[in-house]
Structure 1
Amino acid sequence: MAAVTDTAPAIPASTASVRRLAAWLFVCAFMVFAMAVIGAITRLTESGLSMVVWEPLIGAIPPLNQADWNQVFDLYKQTPEYVLENAGMSLAAFKGIYFWEWFHRLWGRLIGLVFALPLLWFWLRGDIGRADRGGTLKWKLLGLLALGGLQGALGWYMVMSGLVDRPSVSQYRLAAHLSAAILIYLLLVWVGFGLLRPKGDGAIVSRSLRLHGWAALAMVGATAFWGALVAGLDAGMAYNTFPLMDGHVLPPEAWSLNPPSINFFENTAMVQFTHRWLAQTTALFLLLLWVRGRIEGLSGRAATAAASVAAMVLLQVSLGVGTLLMRVPIPLAAAHQAGALLLLTAVLWFLHETRRA
């Protein structure tokens, strides 16, 4: 008599491909998330200008002996940051700031490898073709690969701004660098969501609620952009009171630059004021999104996504106010940057779990 075997049904090849690709994209997204936090620590410890050359390949190897350390330290001594702010710094102190910039760049290289090598493997195996429902997945993945390469170049372009005639990087280039990282992170998450759950599975909501969600995503992005300007100008070290700014709603020096429009980007008082009020307006706008979802009777994953938006916005506002009042302690400030990404993720999840009628 033949033996009876109890085997589980085989998973369709297309389903297995989708799961592998989605898991890979979420791993890459987590690495970009971590990169943003490492970048925040690098900035907060004033480590970003410690490596004055860009060597995409051999730059992954840190100094290995005393001669190597002396060489990189001598290069740093020629920078405006050392001359104007860190003159007399010891080699031991230099090693401390060098570590964070080296680790930041190393992590970026690892992201490139973790994205590019599996992409080639999945392509050769045919996983991308089996998982591609709309015929655009391969172009999305190639676009993400290109964006990653451009982000590395943009990072060096940012560093260059602090090596010529100023002891800090341009706040514009810093904001562009962070914005590009956020964009890559959101695209990775969005494509991963799309693989696991097709758009047609979302809860049906009104057109206005969907538009509300997209507007909320844009507002969080704008608030994060001005947060980067705050960081680039060290504006968080000033006006460390809340809700007023040293007794003023708007400090009188907020309009001290000409033309007036430049104050929104280069004036410490106005940049912080703009970030504060963008954050508060965005918080109310996001809480209203949750309220409207409840009014429309959202349930299941869509309701959970809306609730996560409300919870994250309250946490993020608390982190922001705490960072300001405590004069930007590194752990709290890094958590605040991480909170911005988590809030964006929650809004993106809400958008993916809903579709208009």
Structure 2
Amino acid sequence: MANTINLNRKNTYITIWLYLSLFLVFLLIFIGGLTRLTESGLSITSWELFSGILPPLNEKQWQNYFSLYKQIPQYKEINLGMSMAEFKYIFWWEYIHRLLARLAALAFVLPFIYFLVKKFFSFKQIVLYSIISLLFFFQGFLGWYMVKSGLVTNTDVSHFRLSTHLLGGQIILALIFYSILFRNVNKIYLNFYSYLVLSFLIIVFFQIVIGAFVSGLDAAKLYQTWPLMNGYFVPEDVFIKEFLNSESYSSASHVQFLHRVVAYFTAFIFVFIFYLLLKNKIVNSKYLLIVLFAITFQILLGIFVLISGYKIYLASLHQLGSIFLVFSIIYLFYQVSISQK
């Protein structure tokens, strides 16, 4: 009886830990998206791994942060003459994002170490949770590496580094969600359909990366029409052969066109997967419909972001929609992998 109580208590602790971590990382990505959309990411110009835990507490500290911001190109070329009140607005977004990042990392890593000492995990769980822990620390480095790219010559962060940082956050979130689903699964049946769903997830991650390019280059401020791009499927300043050149991925026009095309391709591929899984009765159709809804919702949000003139709240919803889409695909993978068909 005592062993049963202890086992239930252990499972309860682990469940709370995983769901809390999932929520914090979700919130972190949400705030991170708003930090980018409000162009607040360069307001704190040093890493401040430990010293930046407390915000400015007096006017002198505020002036110090503001004076450091005034030295970077973003202020000199875009925000020259910004008031202290305007600076505080962008500062708080970046500060909250950094504070939440610390909290999310500690909320995952510290309980993991405790549970590890208590021998709560199997070997496979130890490996998985160790990878997630390392990814948290790597994300911190990527965040600073991203910010650093906008402090010397550029007025914004590198969209390549931005996409890597976002992808890292999405992968951490996906792995935590995966661990929640599979924690008590004794047998996994990996087959052709499992790998097909995983391949589709990789395509979606690629689309998320392209979406980060769009955000980093403010590409959604161009061609705010749909279904055509100012009357053309392929706009006049986009040349397909140039996609073989890395410079095209720094072109707002090329990146927006690619993001549109990959969205259509993603929808087409899933229709094929939907048909295949339904025809062979691999999973219940409701799990397929969830993914189909998530894809449709994402495409519609992307369209609304464009035709609305790039409203921040729609762009933020579009990013959150990508999380819902990733979750729905992982859940589909879960259903396929526990099926013996």
Establish whether TM, by shorter chain, passes 0.5.
Answer: yes
Tell me which stretches of 4 or more aligned residues in structure 1 moved more than 6 Å. 256-259
For 1:36, give the aligned amino acid. Answer: I
Q: Counterpart in 2 of 1:335?
A: 317
Between the aligned partners of 1:152 and 1:193, the Cα distance in structure 2 is 26
**Deviation, structure 1 residue 243:** 0.8
Partner of residue 335, structure 2? 353
In the aligned structure 2, how far is the partner of 1:57 from the partner of 1:12? 40
The equivalent residue for 2:173 is 185
State the match for 2:124 in structure 1.
136
Cα separation, 1, equivalents of 2:285 and 2:6: 32
TM-aligned CA distance change 1:9 to 1:57, over 3 Å = closer
Residue 12 of structure 1: how far off its partner (Å): 6.2
Structure 2 CA distance for partners of 1:57 and 1:186, relative to 1, 3 Å: same
Question: Aligned to 2:68, which of 66, 75, 78?
Answer: 75
CA 258–314 in structure 1, closer or farther in 2 if over 3 Å, else same = closer
Contact persistence 1:22–1:196 (CA under 8 A) = no
Structure 2 counterpart of 1:11: 4
Could you say what secondary structure the match of 1:279 adopts? helix
Q: CA deviation at 1:328?
A: 1.8
**1:53 alignment partner in structure 2:** 46
Q: Is the 8 A contact 2:282 2:336 kept in 1?
A: no
1:103-252 correspondence to structure 2 within 5 Å: 103-128=96-121, 132=122, 135-200=123-188, 207-252=191-236
Question: Structure 1 residues 17-26 or 176-185, which shifts more?
Answer: 17-26
Counterpart CA distance in 2 for 1:235 and 1:156 is 23
Structure 2 equivalent of residue 281 of structure 1: 265
Match of 2:178, as an amino acid?
W
Q: By how many angstroms is 1:20 displaced?
A: 3.0
CA gap of 1:159–1:12, structure 2 versus 1, over 3 A, is same
User: What letter corresponds to residue 250 of structure 2 in structure 1?
Assistant: E
Offset at residue 57 of structure 1 (A)? 1.2
2:276, 2:263 → 1: CA distance?
Answer: 20
Aligned residues: 339
Write out per-residue CA displacement over residues 231-273 of structure 1, whole angstroms, 9 at most, x where no aligned residue. 1111010000011101111112123997852254111111100
Gaps of 5+ in 2: none
| Structure 1 residues 50-107: Cα deviation after superposition (integer angstroms, max 9, x where no partner) | 0001111121111111111111000000010000000000000000000000000010
Q: TM (normalized to structure 1)?
A: 0.89
Which residue in the other structure is 2:294 paired with? 312
CA distance in 1, matches of 2:102, 2:224: 37
1:306/1:259 Cα in 2 relative to 1: closer, same or farther (>3 Å)? closer
Q: Which amino acid in 1 is paired with 2:125?
A: L
Instruction: Give the 3-state SS of the residue equivalent to 2:35 in structure 1.
Output: helix
Q: Is the 8 A contact 1:18 1:196 kept in 2?
A: no
Shift of 1:330: 1.2
Deviation at 1:298, TM superposition (A): 4.4
Secondary structure, aligned partner of 1:252: coil
After TM superposition, give the deviation of residue 196 of structure 1 in Å. 3.1
Deviations 1:36-60 (A, max 9, x none): 1111100110100000011111211
RMSD: 2.2
The letter of the residue matching 2:237 is: E
Letter in structure 2 aligned against 1:326: S
Superposed CA offset, 1:291-328 (max 9, x none): 333222345xx543222111111111111111111122
> In 2 relative to 1, CA 305–48 (structure 1 residues): closer, same or farther, beyond 3 Å?
same
Q: Counterpart of 2:71 in 1: which secondary structure?
A: coil
Separation of aligned partners in 2, 1:208 and 1:260:
31
Q: Which amino acid aligns with 1:149?
A: F
TM-score under structure 2 normalisation? 0.93
